[in-house]
A and B are shown apart, each in its own frame.
Chain A
Amino acid sequence: MSLLKVQNVSRNFGSLIAVNGVTLTVEPGELRAVIGPNGAGKTTFFNLISGFFPPTSGRILFDERDVTDMPVHRRVAMGMARTFQITEIFPELTVGENLRIGVEAAAGFRLRPWLSSRENALLSARIGELMEMGGLAAKADRLVGELSHGDQRATEIMMSLSLNPRLLLLDEPTAGMGDQETYDITQLIRRLHQSQKLTIVLIEHDMRVVFHLADRIMVLAEGAVLAEGTADEIAKDERVQAAYLGKAA
């Protein structure tokens, strides 16, 4: 039983075809990478899966349910979480407060006007656990906006994880980071994938990260699937090399 089935989806912006008939199936526990040159439609593809906007045509099934036109918050409730290429966090709140909002939402408390002290203790324990996992415990009371790029990204990932997702979508998790930060985030993703048996789809530019992490790779070019396979297959694929190195190759 596949967790995510994207069936022949397309998305047009006026006359521009950003995503053109893409099909993707992701099995539970898989870590799948989506790569491709700039403008290949990777982020648009993610926006379709996560419900940022609907596809022009095609269908998206999540956990066997048609979510093609489902609003974002209901997809999240079904277990889909995502991060963004440009980190989306609450910069003027502390790390703990950032995570608390996610943890309370996941507990179904978003409309609750009060908390019992028992509930509060459970939530705090969960927040502590997430901070520990993300390597953020020492920075619990720091404003997220004042943290390094890498810690901001870790906060965003842990916030997504606070929702107890079954599918985590990561849009260029190492974009704009130095070597050390890239390494740290890669290790974090690997840990989450392995210890939580979490299904992950990630878009990535850094090939080291992709080949290090992904079970299977899908290559997009000009909005369509160019190739799909294991890391080895993709590395050898001539069409992929051509797309990355230019038509001359």
Chain B
Amino acid sequence: MNDLMRKQAFTALVWILLLSMPYWLPFFGGYTALSSRMIVLALAAMGLNFLLGFTGVLSFGHAAYFGLGAYGVGLTIKYLVPSTALGIVAGVLIGAVAAMIIGALIVKLRGVYFAMVTIAFGQVFFFIAFRWNSVTGGDDGLSGWKRQPLDFGIGTLDILGNDKAFYYFALALFAAAAVVMGLLLRSPFGRTLVAIRENERRARFLGIPVEQHIWLSFVISCVFVSLSGALYALLNNFADPRALRWDQSGDFVIMAVLGGMRSFWGPLIGAAIFVVLQDRVSSMTENWQAFIGLFFVLVVLFFPRGVLGIIRRKAAA
């Protein structure tokens, strides 16, 4: 089997598993909401990885856009209009605008400096959500709202009462985002990003305005993360200030690196492992994060290309 066929077979397998997940996960002790959690967080990790894995820029502040998506949808439904669709649009727009402004301010920074400043900006949003009790609910989070059934004109889809309906709704948006991401990465624009990752100086001297392209990649990445944040809030009917905090950003980075940040599906695998470990180990011990940390360290030390990197190497051998 050649390389292209192997890739296509893998992609087909991924979609089959995702489409049937609510039906097979229960055999392994999972439940539908866990499936939803998995693809929603996978979307965030893949969104982050657009910037990290395919542009070579590390952000430790992507939770800010995740949280903005979450509060955007929550606040819209609670105070403005009881519509899931409009709430998602609002959440993504707020995340996108914030990313455009912050991206423009930090795009000249590189490496550790970029990462540090993204943390700092992320924490600004965390403290706003944490302190502004009257609007955001402060430390208690934003509750008292629920996702609304989707009205398609010809009929409504009850994503509130029906777990599986919400999963397939989230999967549809995940699929749309994955297709857009995949097409972008295969395009001339996507190749300029990889060029920047591989050799910024050469990219610049091929006539690519590097800062402009990193800015675009940052904004695109944040749009996907905001969408994920909006879905996450809808899943829980709740927006949590901790979704904006820097350790949440770190979790996204862990998912991407764990699964393999040089591969398109790596962050999905990473998110799946993360979510399952969290679900399983947290029912046994409060210190579940120590186990994820240990697992992460082992993968980084021995398999720097992530879990998918191991599978790839096995398949190639």
Name A residues whose Cβ lies closer than 8 Å to a Cβ of B.
50, 71-73, 76-77, 81-82, 84, 88-93, 97, 100-102, 104-106, 109-115, 159-160, 163
Q: Using an 8 Å CB-CB cutoff, how does the interface string of B94-106 with A read, 1 for contact, 0 for none?
A: 0000000000000
Q: Are B208 and A81 in contact (CB under 8 A)?
A: no
The A/B interface has a contact count, at CB < 8 Å, of 76
Q: For chain B, what secondary structure do more than half of its interface residues adopt (helix, strand, loop), or is it mixed? A: helix
Residue of B nearest to A144 (CB): B198
Give the chain B neighbours of A110 by CB distance below 8 A. 188-189, 192, 207-208, 213
Which among B183, B205, B208 is the interface contact of A88 at CB below 8 angstroms?
A: B205
Q: Are B195 and A90 in contact (CB under 8 A)?
A: yes
The CA-CA distance from A91 to B194 in the complex, in Å, is 12
Q: A89-B199, A90-B195, A110-B192 are in contact. Are A101 and B187 (CB under 8 A)?
A: no
B293 interfacial contact with A, CB 8 Å: no
B161 interfacial contact with A, CB 8 Å: no
Q: A90-B195, A93-B194, A110-B213 are in contact. Are A76 and B206 (CB under 8 A)?
A: yes
Residue of A nearest to B202 (CB): A88
Give the chain A neighbours of B189 by CB distance below 8 A. 110-113
The CA-CA distance from A93 to B207 in the complex, in Å, is 18
The CA-CA distance from A50 to B192 in the complex, in Å, is 20
Q: Are B188 and A159 in contact (CB under 8 A)?
A: no
Give the chain A neighbours of B110 by CB distance below 8 A. none
Interface size class of B (residues with CB under 8 A): 20 to 34
Q: Are A109 and B188 in contact (CB under 8 A)?
A: yes
Give the chain A neighbours of B199 by CB distance below 8 A. 88-91
Residue of B nearest to A101 (CB): B195
Which B residues from 185 to 216 make CB contacts under 8 A with A? Answer: 187-189, 191-192, 194-195, 198-199, 201-210, 213, 216
Could you write out 15 A-B pairs with CB less than 8 Å apart?
A72-B205, A82-B205, A90-B202, A92-B198, A97-B191, A104-B192, A105-B192, A105-B207, A105-B208, A106-B207, A110-B189, A111-B188, A111-B216, A112-B187, A113-B189
Q: Are A73 and B187 in contact (CB under 8 A)?
A: no
B109 interfacial contact with A, CB 8 Å: no
Q: Are A115 and B187 in contact (CB under 8 A)?
A: yes
Q: Are B206 and A159 in contact (CB under 8 A)?
A: yes
Which among B194, B204, B207, B210 is the interface contact of A77 at CB below 8 angstroms?
A: B207
Give the chain B neighbours of A100 by CB distance below 8 A. 191
- How far, in Å, is A107 (CB) from chain B's closest CB? 8
Q: Are B198 and A90 in contact (CB under 8 A)?
A: yes
The CA-CA distance from A167 to B35 in the complex, in Å, is 57
Which B residues from 142 to 194 make CB contacts under 8 A with A? Answer: 183-184, 187-189, 191-192, 194
Residue of A nearest to B184 (CB): A113
Given contacts A76-B206, A89-B199, A112-B188, 19 further A-B contacts (CB under 8 A): A71-B209, A72-B204, A81-B205, A90-B195, A91-B198, A93-B194, A97-B191, A105-B192, A105-B206, A105-B207, A109-B188, A110-B189, A110-B192, A110-B213, A111-B189, A112-B189, A113-B184, A163-B206, A163-B207
The CA-CA distance from A113 to B184 in the complex, in Å, is 5
Give the chain B neighbours of A50 by CB distance below 8 A. 205
Residue of A nearest to B216 (CB): A111
The CA-CA distance from A114 to B202 in the complex, in Å, is 23
